Structure formats: C-alpha cells, structure tokens
C-alpha cells in the first residue's frame, strides 16, 4: 500500500505536523538530513528536492511503525541498527487513515496499522528509514 502520492502532496496533506529544526550541513548529494535537536541527533532520509538545506528548516518527519505498545517514560529517540528508530512519546493527534502525531524529541508523523490511543504514552519501533519532507 502506498502511503504517499508525491513528497510535495504528502507535505501539504500533513503540514500541520511540520516543525522547525536545525539541520546540520552535509556533503553535496548526501541522502540524509542530520537534525540537531535538544535531546540529540536524528537522521532522516531527505525527501525534498536538491540541494539539501542547512540551518533552520521546516520539516515533516514520518515513519512507519513496526511495533508499538503503551510505555511510560520521558520522550526518547534512539537509532537502531539497520536505520530504524525506537521512539517513546505521547500520541497527540489522529489524522485518520492510520496516521498519528507522536510527540517525542520532535513531532513525528507515525503510520500504524493498529489504532493508537490519543493521549497515550507509547514506545514504537519504526521501520527504516525515518523520512524528512520539506515544503
């Protein structure tokens, strides 16, 4: 099942989940955006048109949940071997069709086949890659 028609339309559809982040400079042609967040670095596959930006950038982060379960604790984002992420945070919004906003170290749009409960603290494992969309 395709979750997006195009990067541009995907960003437009979920623009309310976008936020500003500091993107560190990268070599020309590098496919990853390196985001410097207060809780650490996140790496996202750049779905925007080249060249990749640096400095303060508006982004929409998106990942697909492999597994999720209720779990209390502070917001967490840990990179897993193979490029996935373990996230812990609160589900703050439902966009419909399986899309939810998870407030972790950054707001991340998560697609989950099983429903998530608004207001619930969860732990989620994202399949690689975490994707970064730009306007």
Q: How many CA atoms does the CB half-sphere of 122 hold within 13 Å?
A: 25
Residue of 51, 128, 39 lying closest to 75 (CA atoms): 39
For the chain, the residue count is 135
Determine, yes or no, domain membership for 2: no
d(CA 112, CA 48): 23
- Given the structure tokens 């906003």, which residue do they identify? 101
- Residue at 135 is within a domain: no
Whether residue 34 is contained in a domain is answered as yes
Q: Does 78 reside within a domain? A: yes
For residue 2, what pLDDT is reported? Answer: 64
- State the total domains in the chain: 1
Domain around 28: 7-130
Per-residue pLDDT of the chain (135 residues; tens, 9 = 90+): 567 789 999 999 999 999 999 999 988 888 999 999 988 899 999 999 888 889 999 999 999 999 999 999 999 999 999 989 999 999 999 999 999 999 999 999 999 999 999 999 999 999 999 999 999
Residue 1 covered by a domain: no
């Amino acid at each position: 099942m395709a979750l997006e028609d195009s990067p541009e339309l995907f960003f437009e559809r979920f623009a309310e989940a976008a936020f500003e982040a500091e993107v560190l400079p990268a070599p020309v042609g590098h496919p990853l955006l390196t985001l410097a967040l207060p809780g650490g670095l996140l790496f996202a596959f750049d779905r925007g048109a080249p060249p990749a930006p640096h400095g303060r950038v508006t982004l929409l982060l998106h990942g697909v949940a492999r597994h999720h379960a209720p779990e209390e604790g502070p917001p967490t984002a840990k990179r897993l071997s193979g490029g996935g992420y373990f996230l812990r945070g609160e589900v703050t919004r439902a966009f419909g069709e399986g899309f939810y906003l998870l407030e972790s170290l950054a707001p991340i749009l998560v697609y989950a086949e099983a429903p998530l409960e608004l207001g619930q603290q969860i732990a989620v494992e994202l399949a690689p890659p975490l994707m970064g969309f730009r306007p």
